[in-house]
Amino acid sequence: MDMSENNNKIGVVFNPDVNNPYPILQVLEQTLSNKGIKPEVIALKDMKYGFDFVFAVGGDGTILHTAKFYAMSRTPVLGINLGRLGFLSQINSDEIENAVDKIFQQDYTIEKRMMLKSGEYVSLNDFVIKGISSTRSSRFVVNIDGKFVCDYIADGLIISTPTGSTAYSLSAGGPVLYPMLDAISIVPICPHTLTARPLVIPADEKISIQTGEYEENSLSLIVDGADIIETDNTIEIEKSKYTAHLALLEDDDFYSVLRNKLHWGISPKRVQE
């Protein structure tokens, strides 16, 4: 998309509940106006289609919801971070003018991030499966492509995309996956055995998770850390046919994000004597 064309429709999606977004919205609107484009500013709950490019202002949750919504229309989304870590966002509030310049100079790439689906629900980060009882561990029987794999006694399971591998999955001891890999990770939460380890499988395989023989007759499904759905005793998860389109500035590769936001591989500072 050529952003220098003034007939492009630009959307700005914001979360009104995150850290007073209005001063940032004003700066972004003015910066785009200086380029000859008047954006349409809409709240997260009022998202609609019809844009050529979308800025998402908020935390990672805002960007997750925005990127999933615009996956169906293949609209690129660029995140402006107002949250804490902001791993999915590309820019902070003091970098707006420089970022807009790069977008108009087409100095950016679009990464198509795989998503997962379970019934009518879609996740960009992960699905978390837990038993209905939150006070004790449950037994989870895992089958992949109709073949029995294992059963876990654990507090839950995280079924993650490569994008989500740096979120809850990482905190639970899961692997970091390069975001463009076509793979799914299965990570147990607080497993009650030393032999339970994370598993990475090809993305085209279908995962089925059931409660154990003597467990409750239902499970709970948490979608991207937000929506909680009570289901029956079987959950099926597979790769979605849609991909999220994340706009990434050329100077922000995955490894630099790991270093800058997760302090990956940085040695502790020596204590001064």
CA dist list (Å): 78 to 2, 75, 150, 254: 15, 10, 39, 15
d(CA 170, CA 174): 5
Q: What are the start-end ranges of the H helices in the chain?
A: 22-34, 60-69, 96-104, 168-171, 254-262
Active site residue 60: yes
Tokens of 111: 């990464």
Sign of CA dihedral 214, 216, 219, 220: negative
Closest CA to 21 of 123, 104, 72, 89: 89
Name the 3-class secondary structure at 257.
Answer: helix
> CA angle 108-110-111, nearest 5°?
130
What Rg, from alpha-carbon coordinates, does the chain have? 20
Tokens of 147: 């073949």
Is the Cβ–Cβ distance between 224 and 123 less than 8 Å? yes
Please list the residues that pair with 243 across neighbouring strands.
Answer: 114
Q: Which of 2, 17, 52, 60 is catalytic?
A: 60
Which residues are part of the catalytic machinery? Answer: 60
